[in-house]
Amino acid sequence: VGPVGAWLAVTGTFDGSGPAWLLGAAVGLWIGGFDLIYACQDIEIDRQIGVHSVPARYGARFALHASTVAHVVTFALFLWFGALVGFGWLWWIGLVLTAAAFAYQHLVVSPTDLSKVNRAFFTANGFVGIALFVLALLDLVVRLGLRA
């Protein structure tokens, strides 16, 4: 809800907030996708103490597939958002890096080998957040600088 809350805080209205809702949905699915990966580490404990997480209820294979779907939809929403708001080439480079990071985290974690969950969760997602922010900011600075 961060992008939507920021929109409301800055403008005082929901008028024209479509891009914020789109970005908010993308960020929510991104978080949900990597949380599904991270939760796979706790399957046995969750089952023992009665936590009904997706991995505990349906297994690691299902959770990892659901995470992949969430990240594919996230990526599609990032594409849509970038086109909607008119981002330039730096944003699109950020999305290429994002796609690579998403692919990496889904390649290094499998239902039979969860040993690299922390690498996927902390390293790949930290990289996505920083890279996408920096490239979006640079894109904005370049585009605003070209208009001045």
Residues 7-55 pLDDT 10s: 999 999 999 999 999 999 999 999 999 999 999 999 999 999 999 999 9
Using alpha carbons, select from 77, 90, 83, 87 the residue that is nearest to residue 21.
77
Backbone angles phi, psi at 110, to 5 degrees: -135, 160
CA distance 131 to 108: 20
Residue 74: Cβ within 10 Å count: 23
Among 118, 79, 121, 73, smallest CA distance to 96 is for 79
Residues 119, 108: contact at Cβ < 8 Å? yes
Q: Return mean pLDDT, the chain.
A: 93
Q: What is the DSSP letter of 12?
A: S
Count of alpha carbons within 13 angstroms of residue 16, beta-carbon side:
7
Give me the pLDDT at residue 122, please: 84
pLDDT for 148 beyond 70: no
For 101, other C-beta atoms within 10 Å of its C-beta total 21
Model confidence pLDDT, tens digit, residues 6-17: 999 999 999 999
In tens, the pLDDT along 66-117 reads: 999 999 999 999 999 999 999 999 999 999 999 999 999 999 999 999 999 9
Percent of the chain with pLDDT over 70: 99
Contact 67, 121 (CB under 8 A): no
Task: Note if the pTM is more than 0.85.
Answer: yes
